[in-house]
């Protein structure tokens, strides 16, 4: 078989059914090979979207997401999505066209060193040859999925796609091994002596799907649990041990809980979202994860590195009879936070718009959120109802994430109700993907919180007592039309019109945009000041 056929065969064998990207001339043989193998090439409007769609596909399916870009500018564009896969921990393989050997080091159009470009953004970068193709493909799948998943880059020289392969044996593949030596006795001592522990659950726990294990553990050991934003949904918001989401809206209320703690227990806590020292009190830290954290050595930290089943086994050394669990205080804090949030729903701001979405969307809806002020509210107050899913970026935190994330969710879960909430700034970055929604007839509902500004930057400027500057996006209406690139636009500027727009959007099976013109003043009261 040819190199192109071999790559397509390997992708299909590993469960891949989509490749996202924008082709160049050298891509054509690969696209034909994908089609013959039963893999659909999904054309996006921007290569960054292709990277995001590969990332979210991997999250939803457990199969590495695949994206592709051409030389130079195609490669630089796709790096935004690839960086998201790195810091949001998703297994992704990104292919880019590269110059052939004779032109690789020459001065020529669109030519840059892709290995140097992708080196800091991936777990590994390779240049494919006919001789190493089998080994590179095997290594890429292994490397992108091990321990902390992430992206791997493969450069495809422009002249090898149709070359016949003679050897498809991959050779020996060496797997990653952790050599961290756990101090089991100190770990047990900390667990036996704690009276007021606080559990912090993070992205690793979410990736490993530890919801059942966590809830089973909490049935016996009643301990307050705070989660990072990307771990939202691992514990129901009405669970008696649930405290709230760190860093997001009104999270300063949680200080009353964690300042009483005598030990913080991190379970699958990935500091890529929020460093421990940003929030935790001056007490010992016990960190359970697949790899050690890089918290400063001067901190009182004990790490237990190994498989998740070992975490919960050793956690049973907690002295259950000595644990102090003030469930009424915990519930009181949760209720107060919700009461404050609901206090902003009497006028048409972001809180009211979110409440309407929560009321009207089915409980199993998939919600994707872009980066911006609205994400702080969604991260804290959105209820996944044990059936739905909230998809965000918080390790990479790139604006423009929401729409391509929703497209990938709809493609991989075609029967789901998929809604993207974005600010107008994030929407403008990926507005061209509205055509992609039309092209593939993806019935995604895009809800734009339109306030005409980069509100989160404006809020942060106000923390420094500075006037708003460089944040104004436009004046008057964002659309001034009932159709955008062929997709209907429903304008909502009140609680009543917002509810009608959501109900109408749910009644049609086609892409639709809700332009929710909100009052952004709520944000300055609901977003927690940091730094």
312-360 confidence digits (pLDDT tens): 999 999 999 999 999 999 999 999 999 999 999 999 999 999 999 999 9
Cβ 410 vs Cβ 386: under 8 Å:
no
Residue 174: pLDDT over 60: no
Pick from 399, 355, 362: nearest CA to 377: 355
233-276 pLDDT, tens digit each: 999 999 999 999 999 999 999 999 989 999 999 999 999 999 99
Q: Are the beta carbons of 198 and 223 closer than 8 angstroms?
A: yes
b (16+ CB within 10 A) / e for 171-208 = eeeeeeeeeeebeeeebeebbeebebbbbbbbbbbbbe
List the beta strands (DSSP E) in 410-524.
418-423, 445-450, 483-484, 487-492, 512-517
Fold (topology level) of 184-332: Rossmann fold (3.40.50)
Query: What letter does residue 511 receive in the DSSP assignment?
Result: -
Residue holding tokens 């020996």? 172
Task: Give 19-32 pLDDT, tens digit per residue.
Answer: 999 999 999 999 99
Beta-carbon contacts of 231 under 8 Å, excluding residues fewer than 6 positions away, are 201, 202, 203, 205, 206, 268
- Averaged pLDDT for residues 412-441: 97
pLDDT confidence bin for 298, thresholds 50/70/90: low
Q: Write down the pLDDT at residue 154.
A: 98
Q: Note whether 184-332 and 344-526 share their fold.
A: yes
Closest to 115 (Cα-Cα) out of 135, 98, 132, 90: 98
Confidence grade of residue 296 (pLDDT, cut at 50, 70, 90): confident
Q: Which pLDDT belongs to residue 220? A: 97
Other beta carbons within 10 angstroms of residue 268's beta carbon come to 24
Whether the predicted pLDDT of 522 surpasses 60:
yes
First-residue to last-residue Cα distance in the chain: 57
Residue 449 near residue 516, CB atoms below 8 Å: yes
pLDDT band at 179 (very low <50, low <70, confident <90, very high): low
CA distance 487 to 48: 22
CATH of domain 344-526: 3.40.50.970
Q: Which residues pair with 483 in a beta bridge?
A: 488
CA–CA dist 166, 154 (Å, integer): 20
Closest listed residue to residue 436, CA positions, set 49, 32, 30, 64: 49
Is 465:458 a contact under the CB 8 Å cutoff?
Answer: no
Residue in this structure with the two tokens 């990479």, named with its chain if needed: 396
Radius of gyration of the chain (CA): 24
What's the pTM value of the predicted model, to 2 decimals? Answer: 0.95
**Structure tokens that stand for 449 in this block:** 């919180």
> pLDDT tens digit string along 77-88?
999 999 999 999
Alpha helix stretches (DSSP H) within 146-281: 184-193, 203-207, 211-220, 255-258
| Confidence band for 302, pLDDT divided at 50, 70 and 90 | very high
**Per-residue pLDDT at 285 exceeds 90:** yes
Whether the per-residue pLDDT at 177 is higher than 60: the answer is no
Mean pLDDT (whole number) for 401-409: 98
* Cα 349 off chain centre by: 25
Alpha helices in 146-200 (DSSP H): 184-193
Q: Domain ranges in the chain?
A: 3-157, 184-332, 344-526
Binned at pLDDT 50, 70 and 90, residue 173 comes out as low
Helix axes 184-193, 308-315, angle to 10 degrees: 50
Residues of the chain above pLDDT 70, percent:
97
State the average pLDDT for the chain. Answer: 95
Cβ neighbour number for residue 469 with a 10 Å cutoff: 9
**pLDDT, position 171:** 56
pLDDT at 307 over 80: yes
Q: pLDDT tens-digit profile of 31-71?
A: 999 999 999 999 999 999 999 999 999 999 999 999 999 99
Indicate the CATH number for domain 3-157: 3.40.50.970
Tell me the three state secondary structure of residue 381: helix
Query: For position 102, what pLDDT does the model report?
Result: 81
| Pairing assessment for the beta strands 418-423 and 445-450 based on DSSP bridges | parallel
What are the counts of helices (DSSP H) followed by strands (DSSP E) for the chain?
A: 20, 19
């Amino acid at each position: 078989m040819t190199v192109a056929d071999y790559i397509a065969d390997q992708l299909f064998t590993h469960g891949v059914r989509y490749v996202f990207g924008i082709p160049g001339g050298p891509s054509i043989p690969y696209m034909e090979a994908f089609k013959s193998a039963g893999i659909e090439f999904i054309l996006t409007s921007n290569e960054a979207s292709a990277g995001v769609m590969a990332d979210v596909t991997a999250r939803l399916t457990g199969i590495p997401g695949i994206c592709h870009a051409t030389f130079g500018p195609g490669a630089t564009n796709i790096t935004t999505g690839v960086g998201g896969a790195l810091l949001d921990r998703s297994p992704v393989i990104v292919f880019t066209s590269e110059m052939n050997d004779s032109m690789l080091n020459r001065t020529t159009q669109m030519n840059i060193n892709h290995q140097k470009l992708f080196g800091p953004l991936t777990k590994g970068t390779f240049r494919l040859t006919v001789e190493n193709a089998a080994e590179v493909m095997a290594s890429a799948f292994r490397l992108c999925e091990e321990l902390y998943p992430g992206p791997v880059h493969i450069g495809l020289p422009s002249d090898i796609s149709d070359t016949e392969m003679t050897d498809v044996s991959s050779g020996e593949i060496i797997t990653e091994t952790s050599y961290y030596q756990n101090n089991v006795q100190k770990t047990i001592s900390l667990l036996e002596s704690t009276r007021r522990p606080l559990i912090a659950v993070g992205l690793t726990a979410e990736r490993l799907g530890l919801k059942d294990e966590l809830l089973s553990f909490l049935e016996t050991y009643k301990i307050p649990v705070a989660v990072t934003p990307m771990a939202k949904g691992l514990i129901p918001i009405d669970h008696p041990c649930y405290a709230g989401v760190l860093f997001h809206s009104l999270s300063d209320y949680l200080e009353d809980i964690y300042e009483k703690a005598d030990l913080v227990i991190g379970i699958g806590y990935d500091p890529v979202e929020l460093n421990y020292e940003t929030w935790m009190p001056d007490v010992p830290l016990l960190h359970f994860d697949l790899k050690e954290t890089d918290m400063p050595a001067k901190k009182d930290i004990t790490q237990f590195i190994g498989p998740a089943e070992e975490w919960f086994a050793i956690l049973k050394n907690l002295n259950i009879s000595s644990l102090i669990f003030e469930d009424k205080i915990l519930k009181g804090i949760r209720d107060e936070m919700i009461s404050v949030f609901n206090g902003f729903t009497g006028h048409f701001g972001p809180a009211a718009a979110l409440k309407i979405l929560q009321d009207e969307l089915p409980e199993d809806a998939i919600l994707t959120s872009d980066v911006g002020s609205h994400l702080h509210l969604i991260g804290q107050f959105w209820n996944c109802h044990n059936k739905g899913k909230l998809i965000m970026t918080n390790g990479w935190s790139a604006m423009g994430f929401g729409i391509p994330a929703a497209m990938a969710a709809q493609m991989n879960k075609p029967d789901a109700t998929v809604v993207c909430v974005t600010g107008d700034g994030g929407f403008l970055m990926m507005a061209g993907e509205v055509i992609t929604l039309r092209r593939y007839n993806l019935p995604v509902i895009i809800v734009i919180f339109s306030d005409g500004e980069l509100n989160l930057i404006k809020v942060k400027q106000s923390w420094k007592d500075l006037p708003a500057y460089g944040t104004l996006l436009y004046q008057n209406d964002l659309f001034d039309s009932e159709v955008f690139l062929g997709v209907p636009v429903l304008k909502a500027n009140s609680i009543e019109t917002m509810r009608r727009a959501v109900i109408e959007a749910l009644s049609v099976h086609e892409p639709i945009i809700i332009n929710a013109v909100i009052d952004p003043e709520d944000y300055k009261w609901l977003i927690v000041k940091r730094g």
